[in-house]
Structure 1
Amino acid sequence: MKLSLHGVSVWYSNAVTQVRLARDAGFDGLEILPEHLYRYLENGGSYAQFRALLAENNIEITCINALKRIGRHQPEERAALIKEAERICHAAAELNCPVVQIMALTELDSLPEAQRNAILRDNIREIADIGKPLGIKFQIEVVAFTAFNSLQQGLDMIAAVDRDNVGLVVDFWHLHAGGNTRPEEVAKMDVNLIYGIHFCDGRAARPGETWDEWVQRDYAPGQGEVDIPAWLDAVKQTGYTGGWCPELLSPHHWEWDLADIAKSCIDSLHEYGIK
């Protein structure tokens, strides 16, 4: 079982610092954000240097998170999406990273469900085909505040895409806050479709409240409304033995010392028996 530091947990840091933070806190890996990686590369860093840094610190890149707005479908926007997919797949291959996260946001929410699903199916197929020759898998994250927000929708999409390198990340907050998935559904999943776990807490938007992740996710594990033991038990029932990544999207915690943030993330896993 591999434990990875999530780049969003240490939002106000750079890629090099994140490697050290992961090592010092006791993580095996780093789930890196493309914006942090690209900023490093655009300001004098190289893939070779970053690979050497990872090896020196015994840290793996377990996921690049994320290729966003995968529902772009107007010709120019879709061309930009495919170009981004090629870039992020190249980065994953350079860093021996096995998984890239993909996610739709609200770009399709105004469309009928059948049209939305057809666009996502076709886009994910093309993205999957870009990564396949490079040995890259893609984990779909269903997003709480969109129309594509349930586990069943994700599973149906995987079946429609019909590619063997597409699976799901089980994100406790998104599945809880989306309101359309129960832990029992996770427990019944084919474990081979689970590419990662995002261990996190928070709450759904309240009646009349605008969705804002920096508000609804500003909670450490155990402080929000997610029934973490229930989701943990559900994952365990699948037989899952892969990686775990605590995701602390929390403006409050971002103002802590970076080392304390990283330590609190791995401690939260240990507190719930994930080691």
Structure 2
Amino acid sequence: MSKRNQIVLHALVARYGTLALDLDIAHQIGFDGLEASGAKIRAFMDAGFSPQDLRRLVGDTFIPGIGFLLDVERYGDARKDLLKDAEALTDLAAAIGSKGMQVITGPISLEALDPSSVTRRPDLYRGVVGLPIEEQIDITASGLAAVADIAAQRNLVIYHEALSWTPLNTLDRQLRTIRKAARDNIRLVVDFWHCYTSGDGPEQISRLDKDLIYGVHICDSLPFAGGIPDEPVLRDVETGKGALNLREWVAAVKSTGYNDWWSCELFCNKQHQMNSYDVARDLKTLLQDLVEAP
């Protein structure tokens, strides 16, 4: 039986570091595992290392998941590229011994949300922006199901995250999409920032089925007054020093009965330029205090 309430390092703590650095930080600071970066794993392999080298580097480190597969709603001619990208990320997840991989909705570009971009930027990826809600759900669920089928061949879970500026951003819409996809290996990662900037909070989180949750991103935000959230601006804050009452958010997750892994995702520019070992140590202390509180 695995340890309850595992505190894992997120690869974004040392955003500009390597996979080897992430693993060393996790070991030296005493994290229970690492939520790894697919890009960092790929960079390691592209440098000429073998799968055996990768497994030796990882050792027995717990890797609950790797991130991330972009634009899971891709359809039409773009569906082939989605499946190709899913195969590639699945290969990386299997190579590192991960239990799952993160999939996220698009579009990444905020400009794609502007209706005038259709004529100004016709080549800009827009995903399901502008389509009726039921069609958005059907298309995204179809993509999720296709990716889940690929992941299932390697006994992997896919954990879904809807970016808060994308159409299916709320927990309710994500749950509807997951139900529509109807695959046993699809889960939901709870990201505090994306929930907050989508209009969801502790009350909505507390109503989730604990068995659907796969991972929690404990993170913070600057105050958000509404509109389209600008992630680089709003997430540029130290965890615990922003607008969120993290104790309430963590308590909401725990009230569901969830007791699996928690990850310290970080977008604070200043901390990305600091000593990553020191930053990780402080984050681990904070997460332990939050998660282990009665």
Question: Where on the TM-score scale, by shorter chain, does this alignment land: which range?
Answer: over 0.9
User: 1:74 offset after TM fit, Å?
Assistant: 3.3
2:120 alignment counterpart = none
1:187 alignment counterpart = 206
2:101 alignment counterpart = 100
RMSD across aligned C-alpha pairs, in angstroms? 1.7
Q: Distance in 1 between matches of 2:191 and 2:230?
A: 17
Q: Is residue 62–residue 97 contact of structure 1 (8 Å, CA) maintained in 2?
A: yes
Q: SS of the counterpart of 2:94?
A: helix
**AA in 1 matched with 2:56:** A
Please state if 1:251 is matched with 2:252: no
CA deviation string 1:60-92 (max 9, x = no partner): 2221111111111131x2211100101111221
Please state if 1:13 is matched with 2:20: no
Instruction: Give the TM-score normalised by structure 1.
Output: 0.93
CA deviation string 1:217-236 (max 9, x = no partner): 01122211122122111111
Q: SS of the counterpart of 2:13?
A: helix
Q: Is residue 178–residue 204 contact of structure 1 (8 Å, CA) maintained in 2?
A: no
Q: Distance in 2 between matches of 1:174 and 1:207?
A: 13
User: 1:206 offset after TM fit, Å?
Assistant: 4.4
CA deviation string 1:108-160 (max 9, x = no partner): 22322122111101111111111112110111112112221111111111111
Q: Is residue 176–residue 204 contact of structure 1 (8 Å, CA) maintained in 2?
A: no
Q: Identity, % of aligned pairs?
A: 30
CA deviation string 1:169-194 (max 9, x = no partner): 01111101111x23122212211100
Q: Distance in 1 between matches of 2:97 and 2:190?
A: 22
Please state if 1:130 is matched with 2:150: yes
1:141 alignment counterpart = 161
CA deviation string 1:15-62 (max 9, x = no partner): 11110011111112111111111111101122211211121xx42222
Label 1:79 to 1:203 Cα distance change in 2 as closer, same or farther (>3 A): same
Q: SS of the counterpart of 1:100?
A: strand
Q: Distance in 2 between matches of 1:108 and 1:274?
A: 40
Q: Distance in 2 between matches of 1:215 and 1:235?
A: 26
Q: Is residue 236–residue 267 contact of structure 2 (8 Å, CA) maintained in 1?
A: yes
Instruction: Give the TM-score normalised by structure 2.
Output: 0.87
2:111 alignment counterpart = none
User: 1:274 offset after TM fit, Å?
Assistant: 3.7
Q: What is the number of residues matched between the two proteins?
A: 270
Moved over 6 A (4+): none
Q: Distance in 2 between matches of 1:14 and 1:193?
A: 31
User: 1:163 offset after TM fit, Å?
Assistant: 0.6
2:191 alignment counterpart = 171
User: 1:273 offset after TM fit, Å?
Assistant: 4.0
Q: SS of the counterpart of 1:249?
A: coil
Label 1:60 to 1:47 Cα distance change in 2 as closer, same or farther (>3 A): farther
Q: Distance in 2 between matches of 1:159 and 1:235?
A: 20
Q: SS of the counterpart of 2:247?
A: helix
Label 1:103 to 1:273 Cα distance change in 2 as closer, same or farther (>3 A): closer
Q: Is residue 173–residue 203 contact of structure 1 (8 Å, CA) maintained in 2?
A: no
Which moved further from structure 2: 13-22 or 89-98? 89-98
Q: Is residue 248–residue 265 contact of structure 1 (8 Å, CA) maintained in 2?
A: no
Please state if 1:69 is matched with 2:89: no
Q: SS of the counterpart of 2:63?
A: strand
User: 1:207 offset after TM fit, Å?
Assistant: 5.9
Q: SS of the counterpart of 2:101?
A: strand
Please state if 1:272 is matched with 2:276: no
